Structures are given as C-alpha cells and as structure tokens.
Structure 1
Amino acid sequence: MDDTDTLPRTVLWLSAHPEPRSLNAAMRSRGIRRLREQGHSVLESDLYAMGWDPVLRAADGGRSDATERRFRVSEDTRAAHLAGLQDPAVAREQEKLLAADALVVQFPLWWYGMPAILKGWFDRVLVSGFAFGTDPSTGRRLRFEQGPFVGKRALVALTLGDRPRAVGPRGKSGELTELLFGLLHGTLAYTGFDVLPPWALPSADRLEEIGPAAEDLGARLDGLFSEAPLPYRPQFTGDYTEQWELAPHVSPGETGLSIHLDAPHRGGDAA
C-alpha cells in the first residue's frame, strides 16, 4: 500500500432510501462513521431527506418560458452550467462532487435499477460541460480515461432481495458488474472515475443481524483508496474503432458486456 492511500480524503456519500429507520439507513450511518474514524471527511447527499427533485426540466437549461424554442437537453444544460444559471441545488451537488476524492453510491436495487430519485440526481447533476463533453480549447473528448473525474474513485454499495447465488455468472439475475453495467461503465467510468468492484448485500430482506454485513462493507471502505478498480478498457488507445466498437484484434469472436474488461479480470462470482 502506498503511503498516500492512508492520507485523509474527502468522500461524498450519495444515498437513496425513503425510510430513515431502514437497513440502508443503518448501513449508511455505520459506513460514514467508519470513514470518519479513518480520518476522512464525509460530505452527505441523502436524497430523500433532502427532498431532491429528480425531474430534469427546461428550467435546468436556464429557460423559464415553456413557449420558447424547444428544450435541447444537452446543449441547454451545458450553457446553463457554463453561465452559472443552474438551479442552486444542482450547483451545490456539483460542488460536492468536485470537492470529493471518492464517491460512494448507496441504494436498494429496485427492479434491477436505481430508485428514480437517484437516477434523477445523475440526470440533473452530470450535465455536459461539467461531467462530459469536449474541451473547447483542444477538442479533446472528455470521457473515460479523459473524463473530468479522472483520479476520483467510486464504490457502488447496494442491497437486493435476490438469493446470494442469483447474482453470479450463472445466476438468474446475472453477474453483478454486468447487471450494473449502465451505472458502473456507462456513467461512472464514462465520466472518468476509477470504479471499484461493487459491494452487494443479497437477501437483505431476510437479514437478522446487521453486524457482519456492516463489517463487510466497512472492510471495503477501508480499501476505498487502495483497492484495484475494475479494469475497464480505455477508449482512445486503440482498443476501440472510430465507431466505438471493440477493434477486431481485441478479444476476437467474443461478445457481451464482459469484453469491455481486460480479459484476465473477467468472471468470478460477484455476490
């Protein structure tokens, strides 16, 4: 372990559960306490407690009159961000993200996806010009290994009702990193994060004792700045064509989501 891995850092804990007495809330409280005991600073975004509005509207593009020209989501939200015309609540979340060295995203898996309020956080906060886009001075594409959040780390921690073996390579629900591919690869890695293997608590609705699960998550938090991230392939070093398809010489004949990880790191039961 490098000495820098033990230095105090800033972590943004982003969570979404409507019940403050839930298992998720208890895991959140213990996880944040664990990080603070390590000397880290923790910023918090408890979306339900905040009353976060998840709906992206024309006002997010700096427009107040619905009769104006049509709302161009990417272009208008980028312009609003660059001009300082965003909703102050969105700007505050962006400031937290910029201040953080790592992001923990914690939620219950509902219908194999994030709760709507959490999806809406990503919709409204990760806008063009802030989380992705093109550098106007160089033309450099800001994504993956060139993304704005390069150097920051991300850990997804979730509870789910599936049996432990259901979230594996042969499980009915699929392998965990593939199940979460849209979030891990399409959102977090896309914007430049080093994405750690996700942590999951299966059969959460049958849990009788929180202690072992909280300690297991705590151990992952201990390695937040030292654990090896998922080795998603970089986009701009020859693995992909100009059409963003895996190049013919890379894993020839193979298909599926796992081909976007370097071959030696594929497989394994993520549950």
Structure 2
Amino acid sequence: MAGKKVLIVYAHQEPKSFNGSLLKIAVEELTKQGCSVTVSDLYAMQFEPRATRNDIVGHLHNSEAFNYGVETWEAYKRGSLSKDLVEEQKKVQEADLLIFQFPLFWFSMPAILKGWMDRVLVQGFAYDLSKVYDGGLLQDKLSLFSFTTGGSKEKYAIRGDIRYLLWPMQKAGRESPWSQQMHVGPAQGTKQTVPSLEEQIRVGGWFRSAHTALLGEMKDEMCTRRRAEVQGKKNIQR
C-alpha cells in the first residue's frame, strides 16, 4: 500500500465529532502504511454545494436556456469549469482510493457532500452516457463510503433492511465512476465502530468489491414487496 494516494472527502461540521475521530484514525493509519493522504474538509473549505451558472467560466453553450448538465459537460471539454471544481477534480484524478466520511442525514448524505458530487463529478470527467458501470471513466479507482447512522441497527430495522437506504448511493457509485466498498458506523459512541474502520483500512481497503449480486438481490426484494403492497391495496379496495 506504500505510495498509494488517498483522497478523503469529509463532510461534518465538528472536528471533535465521531466522524472527526474516524477521519483522524483514517489519516493516521493510512499515513503509517506509507500512503499520501489529502483531505477535502468541505465545511472548513466552505465548499459551495449549489450547482449554478457560476460553475462555468466564460460564455455558455446555450445562453437562451440554461441546462447545468450540458453546460458543465461543454465547459469541461473546453477547460472552462470554475477554479474550485478544477481543484477537486485534480484531487480525484490523482487518487487511487477515495474515502467519503459523513453522517447519514435524512437517510442520505449531507447536502454539502451531495453538492460536491453534483458539481465535481460532471459528465466527461467522471462518466459519459455510454461509459457506466464497469466502463466508467474512473474505474481504475476504489472508493469507500464510511458513515455514521446516529442510531442502532435495531432502530433502522423498524422500517426494513438498512440496505434499502444505501441502495441509491451504491447504485450511483456503481453506475458512474468507481468500484465501491461500504462501511457503516452505528450510533455515536459505540465501541466497535472505530476498530472496525481501522481494520478495514488496514486489511481491506485495496480490493474491488462486487456489489452487483447484492443490488440485484435488493431489487428483487423491493419488487416483491411492492407487488405485495399493490395487491394488498387492491384487496382493501375490493
């Protein structure tokens, strides 16, 4: 692992938080192994999460009707994206492994991290319409989603398997840029979470993880549940 470059995209407001501790451990452990670690601390950077015309420098491809996806694609091709996006894309391009460290907010990632993905991973750089899944433009890289839930497994199980919450993030990562691995940290303060992340970084951070079977299984389960719900409603209506 010596000589590998790691980018950690960190999305938490408080350095003394549980997520902050996980970030610290990741940086220390990876550095010990000879890795070069870069951290994008989104809150400290005051990263702009909104996708606007300001992300394009110079003229627009179509000034009559603004289409963010089209405009950033065209701007990327001609080298006209804003400075902050170019800097983040350079970090991504140079990294062998990307770690996303964040708390689960409303069953998803924080808005500032979602904004990072919306703005940085533009078409042409991270993906193309004909190059997704195993053909994605960043398939030579690995990614690790490390996040805390703020609640126990039992709390989340009330509404079903937590994998249903993770599926959109997994699918987005698999469809577009890179190969993924996930690590879920339960409630803040649980004793087993920090060692398990450290263990993953130490022995499991550098392999490709196949989620295709898992996603397929989840899709089947979701379809089965949906059919049962629809059937149940029909029976009630009768």
2:88 and 2:69 map into 1 onto residues whose CA distance is 18
For residue 186 of structure 2, what is the aligned residue in structure 1? 202
Quick one: which of 147, 163, 171 aligns to 1:177?
A: 163
2:58 and 2:166 map into 1 onto residues whose CA distance is 34
In the alignment of these two chains, the number of paired residues is 220
For residue 88 of structure 2, what is the aligned residue in structure 1? 93
Q: Which runs of 5+ in 2 are unaligned?
A: 225-238
Q: Is the 8 A contact 1:152 1:194 kept in 2?
A: yes
1:34 and 1:215 map into 2 onto residues whose CA distance is 11
CA RMSD of aligned residues (A): 2.6
Query: Are residue 142 (structure 1) and residue 131 (structure 2) matched?
Result: yes
CA 1:192–1:68 in 2, change beyond 3 Å: closer, same or farther?
Answer: closer
Of Structure 1 and Structure 2, which has the larger fraction of its residues in helix?
A: 2
For residue 198 of structure 2, what is the aligned residue in structure 1? 218
- Given the two structures, how large is their TM-score scaled by the length of structure 2? 0.83
Paired-residue identity, %: 29
Q: Is the 8 A contact 2:42 2:112 kept in 1?
A: yes
1:257 and 1:182 map into 2 onto residues whose CA distance is 15
Q: Is the 8 A contact 1:61 1:71 kept in 2?
A: no
1:14 and 1:257 map into 2 onto residues whose CA distance is 34
For residue 178 of structure 2, what is the aligned residue in structure 1? 193
Q: 1:255 deviation in Å?
A: 5.0
Give 3-state SS (helix, strand or coil) of 1:256's partner: helix
For residue 22 of structure 2, what is the aligned residue in structure 1? 27
1:193 and 1:203 map into 2 onto residues whose CA distance is 28
Q: 1:215 deviation in Å?
A: 1.8
CA-to-aligned-CA distance 1:178-207 (integer Å, 9 cap, x gap): 311121212x111241111x2122121xx1
- Given the two structures, how large is their TM-score scaled by the length of structure 1? 0.74
Q: Which amino acid aligns with 1:180?
A: L
Q: Which amino acid aligns with 1:74?
A: G
Give 3-state SS (helix, strand or coil) of 1:59's partner: helix
Q: 1:81 deviation in Å?
A: 1.0
Q: Which runs of 5+ in 1 are unaligned?
A: 1-5, 135-140, 234-245, 259-271
Q: Which amino acid aligns with 1:214?
A: V
Matches within 5 A, 1:150-165: 150-165=139-154
CA 1:231–1:151 in 2, change beyond 3 Å: closer, same or farther?
Answer: same
